[in-house]
């Protein structure tokens, strides 16, 4: 492209973006099409990628294609494989994008579509994409080492071990909250539960097919799997209407929680080829397919955003989660803006497949932009719903009651007009008995997606099918995450137990495996169960705990990135990571401390715990608890949540101290001190 | 050093015919080109979803370790799947 064409193209992109933002900002009082939101986001991504991504690649990191990447150095045809950059882009995207970018933005939509959108766009450019990119870079320059190993190398062994403890704690909370999302989506939903349950035998059939019947023919097995999956989706409606099977698949929240706990324990103990691998292929197909379909759907249908730009809940009085815009918006939307968990992926498989250093801009920076785009689409899906429907689905029963009439009255009083008939009709359209208090993001997103996709294909008649397709899509990859996450958690626990008593660390030893698996499942299962029986809905507690943990991990990863830049003697560019680090520390420490100490029992864990334990001591039962025993449980759980939150806060403060110490040392030295593979060694590794 | 296989722009992509640059491509060349493109697309599709690619492994062994014993397709796929999922990093939230 000549210079002039390039200038013209980028002026056009900027103009389109500015126009889209103007449409969003000036459309006061009348509804704006969701397509404008998506267009504005795309313009931001392109400009950020072209200018800021390039700046980081060329100036800050000084990517060098003459260096040999781990994929080329160790090329073994299996783990270390140089891969086409667009293929790896898709692969990396599939690995980072999960339920996170779908749930957070839906919850944050209670404040209107604008706050969430602006944070997602600003957060991804300044923090999220930068983190993923630089962690990937650091890992590639360190032979594909993991985040924990890199922290050990660059910051020292103590911070390395602390980071591992933090990662395990976050993982437990993630597994609990993701399972809770599934429970909320499938409670009293026989159609949904049947399709999800059917994925288990489907995965087993695929696993046996590609291991025993036609070894290695993964493609054939996947085709069979997709066909069976769609068949079960259609057949689910028949099952739900069946007088015998319908009630059999209608489970309560607690029953589902136990089922998931059992599933997690069994699935993570099976050989990987039997269930995890085939299920992962299925969920990856669905994930990429659905994201593309939704993007096309939003442009084809161009649905108007029914949610206002901002709502009165900016002040922290919202029913979906409590707490004001600052700091709680910034921990509610984690994935999509910046997600600490990505630092584990960017230092996992992906660095072992990078062919050239210059590809990292597309894969690291660009991959995160794509995830952010998913989050924007989730906001669109939530905000095309009538706000009344949105609040009916997301506010807990303790606030809006359990009947459509009560809910309609409460929500209409907030200023979002809705009738009991509208609530009932929405449930009927999607083939469910009720939509009330289905917090957790997945069902809201599914209703939004169903309304968008049904307008594109199939009309009202297809809406129920699209809804259950969307639920299937989300539940499938959450269950994969539960399975894979339990395994990873088990290994981490075994690693730690091995330091206490050696045989417990032996992964070949069956009893040791069972013990560690049991511990891992018990840990997340406890939080899940607590969330399910929590009369306030559970999501508003667990999701914020997860948000704090995830953003703290991002803070730790960015502290590592800053230290690496300083140790490379690139301190003049360190602002690139220091700015997002500072922002993450400010928001998450504020949020963490508020979650522990805030005097409002809706926000502070301790305040709520004290309120309940004091009342219990006086023998008074506070709603929504029903007995003194329940009161004591609420109090205990909130003390526990406060303790977990305190661990996150302490961890990130400790990491901060370690990082500052290392940076001060590095600044005093005249020579770079980062532990990289030197370019000379990488050149020598090249065969002539 | 072996480059990524299945790359559409990779000159070493298998079955890519060498057509004379000036002459218009014959029907046979066109068909061979189409076959090569489909082949490359299939390989890229495998890599995109992280599905084990036995051909890539064979190509790698031929190039880097000629004469050494190779895993069968069954062994390779079993091994690759076990390695990918057993201890690997977590999927994201």
Q: What is the pLDDT of residues A531-562, one digit of tens each?
A: 998 877 788 889 999 999 999 999 999 999 99
Q: What is the pLDDT of residues A200-233, one digit of tens each?
A: 999 999 999 988 898 878 888 989 999 999 999 9
- Lowest mean pLDDT across A353-357, A398-402, A643-647: A398-402
Residue B52 forms part of a structural domain: yes
- Paired with A33 in beta bridges are A304
Whether the per-residue pLDDT at B92 is higher than 60: the answer is no
Q: How far is A262 from chain B (nearest CA, A)?
A: 20
Choose the closest CB to B56 out of A77, A355, A550. A77
Asked if A639 and A649 count as a contact pair (C-beta separation under 8 A), the reply is: no
Partners of B3 on chain A (C-beta within 8 Å) are: 82, 355
What percent helix, strand, coil does chain B show, rounded to 5?
Answer: 50, 0, 50
Nearest to A450 by CA among A192, A245, A105, A100: A192
Whether the per-residue pLDDT at A296 is higher than 80: the answer is yes
Choose the closest CB to B3 out of A82, A86, A285. A82
Give the torsion through C-alpha atoms of A553, A559, A564, A565, to 10 deg: 130
pLDDT band at A391, cuts 50/70/90?
Answer: very high
A430: helix, coil or strand? coil
Task: For this complex, say whether ipTM is above 0.90.
Answer: no
Whether the per-residue pLDDT at A108 is higher than 60: the answer is yes
**Scanning every residue of chain B, which has its alpha carbon at the shortest distance from the alpha carbon of A94?**
B49
- Lowest mean pLDDT across A157-171, A389-403, A608-622, A668-682: A668-682
pLDDT (average), residues A268-284: 89
Partners of A99 on chain B (C-beta within 8 Å) are: 93
Residue A620 burial (CB count, 10 A): 11
Q: How far is Cα A85 from Cα A363, in angstroms, rounded to an integer? A: 7
Nearest to A196 by CA among A597, A472, A414: A472
Q: How far is Cα A571 from Cα A667, in angstroms, rounded to an integer? A: 8
pLDDT (average), residues A281-298: 90
Partners of B6 on chain A (C-beta within 8 Å) are: 84
pLDDT (average), residues A506-514: 87
Q: How far is Cα A635 from Cα A626, in angstroms, rounded to an integer? A: 14
pLDDT band at B21, cuts 50/70/90?
Answer: low
Residue A288 has what pLDDT? Answer: 87
A219·B54 Cβ contact <8 A: no
Q: How far is Cα A458 from Cα B54, in angstroms, rounded to an integer? A: 41
Whether the per-residue pLDDT at B8 is higher than 50: the answer is no
Q: Which domain holds residue A641?
A: 3-189+250-668
Partners of A86 on chain B (C-beta within 8 Å) are: 44
- Lowest mean pLDDT across A75-84, A342-351, B2-11, B18-27: B2-11
- Paired with A354 in beta bridges are A83
Residue A68 burial (CB count, 10 A): 21
Residue A28 has what pLDDT? Answer: 65
* Number of domains within chain A: 1
Crossing angle of helices A367-383 and A100-108, rounded to 10°: 40
Give the torsion through C-alpha atoms of B4, B8, B14, B20, to 10 deg: -130
A97·B92 Cβ contact <8 A: yes
Residue A536 has what pLDDT? Answer: 73
Residue A228 forms part of a structural domain: no
Residue B9 has what pLDDT? Answer: 42
Q: How far is Cα A676 from Cα A568, in angstroms, rounded to an integer? A: 9
Asked if A530 and A637 count as a contact pair (C-beta separation under 8 A), the reply is: yes
Residue B22 forms part of a structural domain: no
Q: What is the pLDDT of residues A8-32, one digit of tens each?
A: 999 999 999 999 988 888 776 678 8
Residue A147 forms part of a structural domain: yes
Partners of B91 on chain A (C-beta within 8 Å) are: 95, 98, 280, 477, 480-481, 484-485
Asked if A511 and A258 count as a contact pair (C-beta separation under 8 A), the reply is: no
Q: How far is A531 from chain B (nearest CA, A)?
A: 18
Q: How far is A517 from chain B (nearest CA, A)?
A: 14
Q: Which of residues 261-300 of A touch B (CB under 8 A)?
A: 271-273, 276-277, 280-281, 284-285
Asked if A600 and A607 count as a contact pair (C-beta separation under 8 A), the reply is: yes
B78·A97 Cβ contact <8 A: no
Partners of B1 on chain A (C-beta within 8 Å) are: 72, 75, 686-687
Residue A610 has what pLDDT? Answer: 93
Residue B4 burial (CB count, 10 A): 24
**Scanning every residue of chain A, which has its alpha carbon at the shortest distance from the alpha carbon of B5?**
A83
Q: Rg of the Cα trace of chain B?
A: 17
pLDDT (average), residues B22-29: 76
B49·A550 Cβ contact <8 A: no
Q: How far is Cα A354 from Cα A636, in angstroms, rounded to an integer? A: 48
Per the prediction, chain A carries an average pLDDT of 92
pLDDT band at B75, cuts 50/70/90?
Answer: confident
Nearest to A448 by CA among A400, A539, A377: A377
A344·B90 Cβ contact <8 A: yes
What is the pTM assigned to this prediction? 0.92
Residue A508, token pair as written in the block? 């070949």
pLDDT band at A609, cuts 50/70/90?
Answer: very high
Whether the per-residue pLDDT at B13 is higher than 50: the answer is no
**Scanning every residue of chain A, which has its alpha carbon at the shortest distance from the alpha carbon of B73?**
A216
- Lowest mean pLDDT across A9-23, A39-53, A214-228, A288-302: A214-228
Q: Which domain holds residue B59?
A: 27-86
Nearest to A381 by CA among A332, A445, A457, A469: A445
Whether the per-residue pLDDT at A683 is higher than 60: the answer is no
C-alpha A107 chain-centroid distance: 13
Residue A646, token pair as written in the block? 């305190």
Q: How far is B93 from chain A (nearest CA, A)?
A: 5
Residue A681 has what pLDDT? Answer: 60
Task: Report yes or no: A80 at the B interface, CB cutoff 8 Å.
Answer: no
* Number of domains within chain B: 1
Residue A680 forms part of a structural domain: no
A258: helix, coil or strand? helix
Asked if A410 and A399 count as a contact pair (C-beta separation under 8 A), the reply is: yes
**Scanning every residue of chain A, which has its alpha carbon at the shortest distance from the alpha carbon of B8?**
A84
Asked if A306 and A519 count as a contact pair (C-beta separation under 8 A), the reply is: no
Residue A66 burial (CB count, 10 A): 10
Q: What is the pLDDT of residues A126-138, one digit of tens each?
A: 999 999 999 999 9
B83·A335 Cβ contact <8 A: no
Residue A243 forms part of a structural domain: no
Q: How far is B20 from chain A (nearest CA, A)?
A: 27
Whether the per-residue pLDDT at B7 is higher than 80: the answer is no
Asked if B88 and B60 count as a contact pair (C-beta separation under 8 A), the reply is: no
Whether the per-residue pLDDT at A326 is higher than 90: the answer is yes
The residue among A147, A169, A216 with the most chain B CBs within 10 A of its CB, best to mutate, is A216
Q: Which of residues 329-358 of A touch B (CB under 8 A)?
A: 334-335, 339, 341-342, 344-345, 347-349, 355
Whether the per-residue pLDDT at A66 is higher than 80: the answer is yes
Q: Name the residue with tokens 């919202």.
A: A318
Q: How far is Cα A92 from Cα A6, in angstroms, rounded to an integer? A: 28
Q: Which of residues 61-90 of B touch A (CB under 8 A)?
A: 61, 64, 73-74, 76-90
Whether the per-residue pLDDT at B17 is higher than 50: the answer is no
Give the torsion through C-alpha atoms of A415, A416, A420, A423, to 10 deg: -160
pLDDT (average), residues A463-483: 92
pLDDT (average), residues A424-440: 91
Residue A203 has what pLDDT? Answer: 94
pLDDT band at A1, cuts 50/70/90?
Answer: low
* Phi, psi (rounded to 5 degrees) for B52: -55, 135
**Scanning every residue of chain A, which has its alpha carbon at the shortest distance from the alpha carbon of B51?**
A218
Residue B72 forms part of a structural domain: yes
Whether the per-residue pLDDT at A594 is higher than 50: the answer is yes
pLDDT (average), residues A648-664: 96
Residue B87 has what pLDDT? Answer: 60
Question: In terms of C-beta density within 10 A (0-12 exposed, 13-18 middle, 19 or more buried), how is residue A668 classed?
Answer: exposed
Q: How far is A225 from chain B (nearest CA, A)?
A: 15
Q: How far is Cα A393 from Cα A109, in angstroms, rounded to an integer? A: 12
- Lowest mean pLDDT across A11-25, A108-122, A581-595: A11-25
pLDDT band at B16, cuts 50/70/90?
Answer: very low
- Paired with A304 in beta bridges are A33
Q: Name the residue with tokens 């249908």.
A: A301
A577: helix, coil or strand? helix
pLDDT band at B6, cuts 50/70/90?
Answer: very low
Asked if A87 and B48 count as a contact pair (C-beta separation under 8 A), the reply is: yes
B81·A273 Cβ contact <8 A: yes
Choose the closest CB to B88 out of A178, A341, A348. A348
On the CB side of A218, CA atoms within 13 Å amount to 27
Q: Which of residues 18-57 of B touch A (CB under 8 A)?
A: 42, 44-52, 54, 56-57
Residue B63 forms part of a structural domain: yes
Residue A682 forms part of a structural domain: no
Q: How far is Cα A560 from Cα A554, in angstroms, rounded to an integer? A: 10
Nearest to A543 by CA among A381, A260, A327, A320: A320
Q: Which of residues 211-230 of A touch B (CB under 8 A)?
A: 211, 215-216, 218-219, 222
Residue A416, token pair as written in the block? 């979002």
A352: helix, coil or strand? helix
Give the torsion through C-alpha atoms of A348, A287, A77, B36, to 10 deg: -150
More confident residue, A518 or A215: A518
CA A631 → CA A176, A579, A603, distances in Å?
A: 22, 43, 18
Residue A65 forms part of a structural domain: yes
A272·B82 Cβ contact <8 A: yes
CATH number, position A31: 1.20.1740.10
């Amino acid at each position: 492209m000549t210079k002039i064409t390039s200038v013209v193209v980028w002026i056009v992109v900027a103009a389109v973006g500015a126009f889209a933002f103007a449409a969003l900002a000036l459309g006061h009082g009348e509804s704006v099409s969701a397509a404008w939101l998506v267009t504005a986001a795309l313009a931001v991504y392109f400009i950020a990628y072209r200018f800021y991504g390039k700046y980081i690649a060329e100036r800050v990191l000084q990517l060098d294609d003459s260096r040999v990447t781990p994929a080329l150095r160790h090329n073994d045809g299996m783990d270390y494989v140089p891969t086409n950059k667009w293929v790896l882009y898709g692969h990396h995207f599939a690995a980072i994008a999960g339920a996170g970018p779908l749930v957070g933005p839906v919850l944050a939509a209670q404040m209107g579509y604008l706050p969430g959108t602006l944070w997602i766009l600003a957060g991804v450019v300044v923090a999220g994409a930068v983190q993923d990119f630089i962690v990937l870079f650091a890992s590639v320059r360190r032979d594909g080492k993991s985040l924990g190993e890199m922290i050990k190398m660059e910051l020292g062994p103590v911070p390395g071990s602390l980071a591992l403890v933090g990662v395990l704690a976050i993982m437990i909370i993630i597994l609990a909250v993701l399972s809770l999302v599934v429970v909320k989506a499938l409670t009293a939903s026989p159609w949904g539960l049947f399709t999800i349950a059917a994925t288990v035998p489907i995965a087993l059939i695929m696993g046996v097919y590609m291991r025993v019947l036609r070894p290695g023919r993964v493609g054939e097995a996947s085709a069979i799997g997709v066909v069976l999956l769609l068949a079960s989706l259609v057949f689910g409606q028949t099952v739900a209407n069946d007088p015998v099977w319908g009630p059999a698949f209608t489970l309560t929240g607690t029953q589902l929680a136990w089922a998931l706990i059992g599933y997690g324990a069994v699935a993570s103990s099976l050989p990987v080829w039997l269930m995890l691998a085939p299920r992962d292929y299925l969920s990856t197909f669905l994930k990429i397919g659905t994201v593309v379909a939704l993007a096309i759907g939003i442009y084809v249908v161009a649905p108007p955003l029914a949610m206002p730009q901002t709502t009165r809940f900016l002040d922290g009085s919202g029913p979906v989660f409590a707490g004001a815009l600052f700091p709680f918006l910034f921990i509610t939307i984690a994935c999509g803006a910046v997600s600490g968990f990505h630092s584990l992926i960017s230092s996992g498989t992906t660095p072992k497949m990078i062919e050239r250093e210059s590809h990292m801009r597309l894969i690291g920076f660009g991959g995160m932009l794509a995830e952010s785009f998913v989050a924007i689409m989730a906001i669109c899906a939530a905000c095309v719903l009538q706000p009344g429907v949105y609040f009916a689905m997301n506010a807990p029963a303790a606030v809006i009651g359990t009947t459509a009439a009560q809910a309609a009255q409460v929500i209409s009083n907030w200023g979002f007009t809705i009738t009991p008939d509208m609530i009932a009709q929405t449930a009927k359209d999607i083939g469910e008995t009720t939509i009330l208090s289905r917090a957790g993001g997945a069902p809201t997103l599914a209703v939004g997606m169903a309304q968008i996709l049904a307008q594109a294909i199939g009309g009202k008649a297809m809406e129920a099918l699209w809804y259950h397709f969307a639920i299937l899509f989300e539940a499938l990859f959450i269950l994969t995450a539960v399975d894979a996450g339990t395994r990873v958690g088990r290994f981490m626990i075994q690693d730690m137990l091995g330091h206490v008593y050696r045989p417990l660390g032996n992964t070949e030893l069956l009893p040791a495996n069972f013990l560690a698996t049991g511990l891992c499942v018990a840990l997340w299962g406890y939080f899940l169960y607590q969330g399910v029986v929590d009369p306030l809905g559970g999501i508003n507690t667990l999701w914020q705990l997860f948000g704090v943990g995830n953003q703290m991990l991002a803070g730790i990863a960015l502290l590592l990135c800053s230290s690496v830049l300083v140790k490379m003697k690139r301190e003049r560019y360190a602002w690139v990571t220091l700015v997002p680090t500072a922002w993450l520390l400010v928001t998450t420490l504020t949020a963490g401390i508020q979650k522990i100490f805030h005097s409002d029992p809706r926000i502070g864990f301790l305040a709520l715990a004290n309120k309940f334990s004091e009342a219990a001591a006086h023998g008074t039962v506070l709603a929504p608890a029903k007995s003194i025993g329940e009161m004591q449980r609420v109090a205990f759980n909130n003390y526990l949540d406060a303790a977990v939150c305190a661990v996150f806060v302490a961890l990130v403060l400790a990491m901060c101290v370690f990082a500052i110490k290392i940076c001060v040392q590095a600044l005093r030295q005249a020579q770079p001190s980062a532990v990289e593979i030197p370019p000379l060694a990488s050149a020598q590794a090249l065969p002539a | 050093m072996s480059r990524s296989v299945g790359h559409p722009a990779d000159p070493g992509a298998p079955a890519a015919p060498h057509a004379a640059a000036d002459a218009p491509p014959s029907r046979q060349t066109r068909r061979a080109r189409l076959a090569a493109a489909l082949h490359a697309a299939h390989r890229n599709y495998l890599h995109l979803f992280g599905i084990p690619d036995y051909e890539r492994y064979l190509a790698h062994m031929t190039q880097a370790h000629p004469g050494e014993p190779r895993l069968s397709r069954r062994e390779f796929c079993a091994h690759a799947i076990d390695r990918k999922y057993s201890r690997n990093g977590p999927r994201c939230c």
